[in-house]
Structure 1
């Protein structure tokens, strides 16, 4: 079942769509930024919201939120994560993209897909489609790109996100969902959550979190999450995880790649995807002024995506979409409670 609600005091084009399955799992999505604003799990103690988000458009546009902008729950594009110096080369021509993270591009530039109003259409009892046209020159990306996102909440307690896009010129592309999870509902931070990631390698970064093109084996390091362990177990060595894990999805349509578990709530989430990478961000720098609920480590982001700076790294899949191609990816989050 899907219901439509008002989400803004002033903008009538912005709505919130409430997807509820037969078990009482409830996902709320707004067509502003295609944001997953809420995901409630029905526990014996009551419904628990397990993602970070707000109840109105005005909260997402407030100065307090945008000052240290954490991208709560948004669909990110055209290119998630970082592009070094905001520069790419296409057909021997260097293109300077929008730079919004020091001298680099982060999450699509100054005005990415996370700040756009999408067209919304309910296409079934459990499916919401969100569509966006990104015009040629948007954040200086080339080509007219058409993007479709479908959220589906099924009765197996699985929230699926289907990504698709086309473009009439060669353009960088890397779409992701930037949801932060906290299975305590904000009563505690996420450091006691247990995490498992099926990955033997992470991308090596420089000091500005730009990939060098090399890989690091996780064996005998703080980055090893091949077995379920508490996030806090090795965090003193790294201070904060903000790393792209190399998944084993190549040549596979869909596979389980990660699991998140919290003991006191007994909530377990399994992530399946066909993306090649998973960005783990433990949220040390979350800071919404005046809101104690949204501070350091208040949520963990597990962003399935292509590799950051892929257009500039010959060792990575190229990170481009070409005319005539259809970009298609999917990620599924299944909940057990």
Structure 2
């Protein structure tokens, strides 16, 4: 069941919040500002319902949020080095919104757009357009972001994109999970991956181009490990994890990542059509939140893939629709 539960006016447009509730009573709340997830309310081992993502207590706070809380990220998730890339022999210059780099789509990213919407029987579809050269990217882009929530507590997100020029896209969702309902640090959560490698990054969180196997590293979560304990193995300036994990042959029927909280008994599995995900432990949360209060498992294509020959790129061809999807399965 999908119902509208709140609306306010922002920039002379209506921002509305919708609740998608399943037959068990669990629900997800989303809004058309940034096609954002506001809450994921699922049961613990004692069937107690709690919101297990970081959130603000009012809609207005999302308009100035610096952490991309729960929003749709794009046109291009993650960082693009020197805020530029070459496509078909032409150099495109992007917004420098992360020192000298571009991050999460620049100053006019999808997280700041007020989407149109259509409520269907079993999903809600948010739609928007990004004009040619917005934030520097080529092509007029149309994007539909669909949300549904099954009776099995599966949150399904679909990205359906089309542009009139060749253009790179890399969409994701930036929800911060805390499966304990914020009663415990995410450093106590268990993390597991079905990945083959991770990307080395520099101190600016940019990939160096090196692709490393997981064996005998602080990134080897192929067996579930407690995040806080695994951090002790890291030998980097960066304290937490802000790391891309990838697979050579993504089998979409297998979770790329799983997170478990023994305190509540909750788990979430990440499934996706994309080749990997960014794992971020919320090191730089501040203000309403504290570091390591929430973690992100952001399914996406390779960060800065446009500037590394060995990385997978996701280029839309003119007038050809491309679909990618993410599923968060809660148990």
TM-score over 0.5 (shorter chain): yes
- Asked if residue 325 in structure 1 is aligned to residue 298 in structure 2, the reply is no
Per the alignment, residue 34 of structure 1 pairs with 35
Per the alignment, residue 267 of structure 2 pairs with 268
TM-score, with structure 1 as normaliser: 0.92
- Asked if residue 50 in structure 1 is aligned to residue 49 in structure 2, the reply is no
- Asked if residue 79 in structure 1 is aligned to residue 76 in structure 2, the reply is yes
Write out per-residue CA displacement over residues 235-291 of structure 1, whole angstroms, 9 at most, x where no aligned residue. 1325210000012444x4543211110011000111111111110000111112xx3
Shift of 1:187: 1.6
Write out per-residue CA displacement over residues 175-211 of structure 1, whole angstroms, 9 at most, x where no aligned residue. 0000110011112210000010111210122232221
Q: For 1:144 and 1:8, locate their aligned partners in 2 and report how far apart those are by CA, in whole Å.
A: 29
Q: For 2:147 and 2:21, locate their aligned partners in 1 and report how far apart those are by CA, in whole Å.
A: 12
- Residue 180 of structure 1 aligns to a residue whose secondary structure is coil
- Asked if residue 206 in structure 1 is aligned to residue 202 in structure 2, the reply is yes
Q: For 1:196 and 1:24, locate their aligned partners in 2 and report how far apart those are by CA, in whole Å.
A: 28
Per the alignment, residue 97 of structure 1 pairs with 94
Worse-matched range after superposition: 325-334 or 95-104: 325-334
Structure 1 unaligned spans of 5+: none
Residues 86, 96 of structure 1: 8 Å contact kept:
yes
1:325–1:313 distance in 2 versus 1, CA, 3 Å: farther
Matches within 5 A, 1:93-172: 93-124=90-121, 126-172=122-168
Per the alignment, residue 182 of structure 1 pairs with 178
Worse-matched range after superposition: 134-143 or 50-59: 50-59
Q: For 1:134 and 1:285, locate their aligned partners in 2 and report how far apart those are by CA, in whole Å.
A: 29
In the TM superposition, structure 1's runs of 4+ consecutive aligned residues that sit over 6 Å from their partners are: none
Structure 2 unaligned spans of 5+: none
Residues 301, 313 of structure 2: 8 Å contact kept:
no
Per the alignment, residue 242 of structure 1 pairs with 242
Residues 249, 275 of structure 1: 8 Å contact kept:
no
Q: What is the alpha-carbon root mean square deviation over aligned residues?
A: 1.5
Residues 13, 114 of structure 2: 8 Å contact kept:
no
Write out per-residue CA displacement over residues 72-94 of structure 1, whole angstroms, 9 at most, x where no aligned residue. 10100000001011101122111
Q: For 2:258 and 2:243, locate their aligned partners in 1 and report how far apart those are by CA, in whole Å.
A: 16
